[in-house]
Amino acid sequence: MIGTAPFRLLVTGAASGIGAALVRRLAGPGLQVLLHTRRNIDGLAAVAEAVQSAGGRVETLTGDLGDPDLPAALVDGAASAFGALDAVVANAGWADRTPLLDAALTKVDDAHVGIARSFVALAQAAAPHLRESPAGRMVAVSAFGPHVFRPGVMTFPATAAAKAALETHVRALAFELAADGVTVNAVAPGFIQKDPGTHAAVTPELRAKVTAGIPMGRMGTSDEVAAVIAFLLSRDAGYVSGQVIHVNGGLV
């Protein structure tokens, strides 16, 4: 939970799952947060209510991160509403299991634009504000996909490629912003239990098979990933940058 001192935050994909769990974990009187979703208006409203109930301040904005103008609009909206911006969490994304040889090239393009390119656009827009923050932070949510291609584990080729690019952007930005005291990191979740009623890349029929391939024998929770992101946003993580931290139950 954030204390009483203002902490100005932007979270994409905040209406459910990891994004929603993070915001609920951080909710407190000092939190000032702009929440984004592409289209889950009801989920976003519920998360916004949780922030307000905890004494925080909230703004919301909807849109597709494939829109080249949206990343700057999100950053400008947060900075204008709160007077500053301390942190950005790029959580929005999706999983596509289509084999590359069968994938329409437009799907490949969409993955790179919506995941990797939008992160760079967010960083470019946010960097001037984060440099002014006493503890500027950026965290991107990647995935296990770029790291695990083996029998028995589902693959998400186009998504994985975009996430791999995302992780490279994280390292490059960490290097470029280090002198300003801004940290940039990524968290790579494994198979995470989705919120009830939301889209899940893992169907109920595949759940047992998926779980059998996880060394810990279970799927993770959104809150377990959110806990790691919350640490990376904290002052305690001031010397952690350019890292990809895996939260995956031992999936290697």
HSE of 158 in the Cβ direction (CA atoms, 13 Å)?
23
Place of tokens 């995302």: 166
Reported as a single tens digit per residue, the pLDDT across 35-63 is: 999 999 999 999 999 999 999 999 999 99
Q: What is this structure's pTM?
A: 0.94
What is the phi-psi region of residue 61: left when phi exceeds 0, alpha when psi lies from -120 to 50, beta otherwise? beta
Reported as a single tens digit per residue, the pLDDT across 166-184 is: 999 999 999 999 999 999 9
